[in-house]
Amino acid sequence: MLEPSETPRLRLLLDHFALIEDDREPWRVAHPLPEVLLLVVCGTIAAGDDFEDIADWGEDNVAFLRRFLPYHHGVPGSRWLRLLMNRIDPGL
């Protein structure tokens, strides 16, 4: 995993992600919000048109994502991505 100090722009992005409130109970969180948001950003940049595309991209590229964050439980599936992102912004 890269150290955030090695990638200042990534550190800035992850710092912004940390400002988003996560109202889930911490002991029930398998996929921390910064991991989910990094997946969504990267999957979207990689031409993901929907949550299924993003989840598929994440599964295929989890080694890349783990360069930045641990992803101990892998990446979430498309249904879970949709549920969490709709909690953050119901308009999604």
Tens digits of residue pLDDT in 12-63? 888 888 888 777 778 887 788 899 999 999 999 999 999 999 999 999 999 9
Question: Is 80 exceeded by the pLDDT of residue 5?
Answer: no
Model pLDDT, residue 1: 60
Model pLDDT, residue 87: 80
Boundaries of every domain in the chain: 4-20+29-88
Cα angle vertex 91, ends 90, 92, to 5°? 90
CA dihedral over 60, 46, 22, 90, signed as positive or negative: negative
CA dihedral over 89, 21, 80, 3, signed as positive or negative: positive
Q: In angstroms, how far is the first alpha carbon of the chain from the final one?
A: 31
Q: How far is CA 24 from CA 33, 34, 35, 85, in A?
A: 10, 13, 14, 13
Q: Is the pTM of this model over 0.85?
A: no
